[in-house]
Amino acid sequence: MTQATLAPAETFHLTPYTPHCRVIAEEGDHAVIGVSSGNSFFSAQRLHGLARWGMENFHQVDFVYTDLHVADMFEALGYPPDDARRKAVKNLRGVRAKVTNAVQEADPSGDRVRARPMSALTLAPAYQRIHTRIQGLLETDQEFRAACEQLTAIFLDGKLAPGEAASARQTQVCLDYVCAEAPLFLDTPAILDVPSSVNCYHQALPLADVLYARGPGLRASRNQGHGILVPAEGEQRDDRGDGLGDRTDRGDQGVRL
């Protein structure tokens, strides 16, 4: 798929996923920047830079950090329930503090840049409607199911022993995790009541191939865009961390999202 690169501001490049995504990005109404707990890509310094970049390019920016199914994921990867909960609380406390500090420094008034946990969005009727639809499509839409399963395989890569197949529990938790975030890729404008929005993430995700394909099927709304947001050339990158913890040993590996 042909991609067009939006001119960078300061130290970041946003590559809109399609030409129409580029139009939405250039309108500059709103951006969502997804933040994964425990992922070393989202250092405090980088989050401060992302907040400044957002202020320069968009009228409003929401940093949304994942706080759903985190303990479940740790438990599915082998942590005892109490340890999984403690580890999830520790990770979420850290990411919440980093995101909040970056947002408050960039926009003390909170009028243009905000920090939100994913769980807060679940109260929106539009989110609930889209989430319910997505869960149903997992059973009926093979294209969507295949993309979610591909994401699951990516998340679990390196977390299992060589030759070990993912358990039903691990697969289900990954699917729950994906479905919790997917509404923001489908229709952020409806969920957050903004004219248009670009969902920004630092990695290409298989789900985008589905949502921005031609023809029938599950597709992003007309005023929903997506883009890959990465440090500009020359800035040192460290995105080796996983969504639920950095790679230190097999027992402490997490899931990149």
Mean per-residue pLDDT over the chain, rounded: 85
Measured CA to CA in angstroms, residue 127 lies from 12, 58, 113, 118 at distances of 29, 22, 21, 10
> Rounded CA gap, 186 and 179, in Å?
11
Q: Please report whether residue 1 resides in a domain.
A: no
> Rounded CA gap, 82 and 211, in Å?
37
Give the end-to-end CA distance of the chain in Å, rounded to a whole number: 22
Burial of residue 80 (number of CB atoms within 10 Å: 0-12, 13-18, 19+): exposed
User: What CATH number did the domain enclosing 58 receive?
Assistant: 3.40.50.11710
Q: Please report whether residue 215 resides in a domain.
A: yes
- Residue-range definition of the domain harbouring residue 47: 6-252
Positions annotated as catalytic residues are: 36
At 249 the pLDDT is 30
Q: Taking residues 118-136, what's their average pLDDT? A: 96
Q: Please report whether residue 257 resides in a domain.
A: no
Q: Please report whether residue 161 resides in a domain.
A: yes
Q: Is the pLDDT of residue 242 over 60?
A: no
Tokens representing residue 233 in the block = 């050339």
pTM listed for this prediction: 0.84
- Number of structural domains (the chain) is 1
At 5 the pLDDT is 53
Q: Is the pLDDT of residue 239 over 50?
A: no
Taking only the tens place, the pLDDT of each residue in 17-35 is 999 999 999 999 999 999 9
Q: Please report whether residue 153 resides in a domain.
A: yes
Q: Is the pLDDT of residue 131 over 60?
A: yes
What is the β-pairing status of strands 60-65 and 113-117? parallel
Q: Please report whether residue 157 resides in a domain.
A: yes
Beta carbons of 251 and 238 less than 8 angstroms apart: no
At 255 the pLDDT is 28
Taking only the tens place, the pLDDT of each residue in 62-90 is 999 999 999 998 999 889 999 999 999 99
Question: In which band, very low, low, confident or very high, does the pLDDT at 243 lie, cut at 50, 70 and 90?
Answer: very low
At 256 the pLDDT is 29
Q: Is the pLDDT of residue 257 over 60?
A: no
> Rounded CA gap, 200 and 184, in Å?
10
Q: Please report whether residue 186 resides in a domain.
A: yes
Taking only the tens place, the pLDDT of each residue in 210-238 is 999 888 888 999 999 999 999 986 444 44
Q: Please report whether residue 61 resides in a domain.
A: yes
β-pair partners for 15: 228
Taking only the tens place, the pLDDT of each residue in 176-216 is 999 999 999 999 999 999 999 999 998 888 889 999 988 88
